[in-house]
Amino acid sequence: MPTPQFSDFVSIRDFSKDQIISILRRAAQMVPYASGEKRTDAMRGRILGTLFYEPSTRTRLSFESAMLRLGGSVTGFSTPAGTSVEKGETLSDTVRMTEAYTDALVIRHPLEGAARLAADISSKPVINAGDGAGQHPTQTILDLFTIQEAKGRIEGLNIVLVGDLRFGRTVHSLAEALSLFGANITLIAPPSLQMPRDVIAQIESNGVKPKTSASLEEAVADADILYVTRIQKERFADAAEYAKLSGSYRIDTKLLAHARSTLSVMHPLPRVNEIAPEVDRTEHSLYFKQAANGVPVRMAILSMILGAEI
């Protein structure tokens, strides 16, 4: 049995640039397996546990597809409703039990730090599928994969992150990874939804000084990637505050008239109203391809964390 190449996947901060590059390379090898063009049984007899305490479409289903495409099996829950969490079972006990039934766990939880706690408890690998407003590190790998596939590189690209930079976990781990790769980062957010200070500090410690901008029109003019995020309604304590901010940004063809023809628009999805459907039909739209890349990227992560040879 090949040796696992890492033990858990909790935070992008746990990975060096070289390790991320090796995951991206493995993901490229997984593409024909992810599409079904090639077949593998590398994970036969292995079981992935999926513990989703928060809603998901892309992350949960692409992890399931990834494990099935690798020849493995999946068990788990898509909501705590109907599980013993409803009877008051703690996260610790749920992890202790489900690790006994599986070979690795994927966890999404509303509390920041939940995946780290699960990894500390579990003797089996734990993968963070989003912890509150913390990180979403496997999304980051698929974002990097998508950027590299579309642009041929990451270094030196002008990448604008716009939307809810405070609660949006995808942009926290993505911004940190982009700084490892030497991208130029511009941040655009309402005053109350700015990027957290610890993320800025991490970006700066990687040698990148992010710019901020108040003008989306100006920022898109020389951007290579416009990465849009949803205002994270579920993280707001005050519904009125959410209502005030929910329409802050809208990407439409009028805005994109200010952009280079090569600008790519990305979004982790789901979108609500921040990208007009008309953008789907333009050459700028990259978000559906980005979501589809979740399967080869998660195949790479699963095969490396479980030590499978393909």
Q: List, in order, residues 6 or more apart from 236 with CB less than 8 Å away.
A: 167, 242
Nearer to ligand CP, 57 or 253 (CB): 57
- Tell me which stretch binds ligand CP (CB under 6 A): 63-71, 86-94, 194-202, 266-274: 266-274
Is 230 assigned a ligand-binding role in the annotation? yes
How far are the Cα atoms of 95, 121, 156, 259 from residue 222, in angstroms, in the given order?
46, 46, 12, 7
Candidate residues 21, 111, 255, 269; the one interacting with ligand CP per rule CB under 6 A: 269
Distance, in Å, from the CA atom of 177 to the CA atom of 137, rounded to the nearest integer, reads 9
284 counts as catalytic: no
Distance, in Å, from the CA atom of 147 to the CA atom of 166, rounded to the nearest integer, reads 23
**3-class DSSP state of 129:** strand
**Of residues 57-96, which lie at the interface with ligand CP (CB under 6 A)?**
57-59
Kindly state the smallest distance separating residue 10's Cβ from ligand CP, in Å. 16
Nearest to 51 by CA among 144, 124, 133, 142: 124
108 counts as catalytic: yes
- In the set 26, 69, 108, 172, the catalytic residue is 108
Nearer to ligand CP, 51 or 259 (CB): 51
Q: Maximum CA pair distance of the chain?
A: 55
94 counts as catalytic: no
Distance, in Å, from the CA atom of 77 to the CA atom of 85, rounded to the nearest integer, reads 11
Q: How many C-beta atoms lie closer than 10 Å to residue 298's C-beta?
A: 31
- What DSSP string describes 31-55? HHHHTTSS---TTTT-EEEEEESS-
Distance, in Å, from the CA atom of 299 to the CA atom of 27, rounded to the nearest integer, reads 7
- In the set 58, 124, 166, 172, the catalytic residue is 58
**Of residues 22-61, which lie at the interface with ligand CP (CB under 6 A)?**
56-59
Nearest to 51 by CA among 2, 120, 143, 118: 118
Is 166 assigned a ligand-binding role in the annotation? no
Nearer to ligand CP, 58 or 116 (CB): 58
172 counts as catalytic: no
- Tell me which stretch binds ligand CP (CB under 6 A): 7-15, 63-71, 113-121, 262-270: 262-270
Is 58 assigned a ligand-binding role in the annotation? yes
Is 290 assigned a ligand-binding role in the annotation? no
**Of residues 104-163, which lie at the interface with ligand CP (CB under 6 A)?**
130, 136, 139
Nearer to ligand CP, 208 or 249 (CB): 249
Question: What distance lies between CA 65 and its chain's CA centroid?
Answer: 16
Kindly state the smallest distance separating residue 146's Cβ from ligand CP, in Å. 12
- In the set 109, 136, 267, 298, the catalytic residue is 136
267 counts as catalytic: no
Residue ranges in contact with ligand CP by CB under 6 A: 56-59, 130, 136, 139, 268-270
Query: Binding-site residues for L-aspartate, please?
Result: 87, 169, 230
Query: Binding-site residues for carbamoyl phosphate, please?
Result: 58-59, 108, 136, 139, 269-270
Q: Which residues are catalytic?
A: 58-59, 87, 108, 136
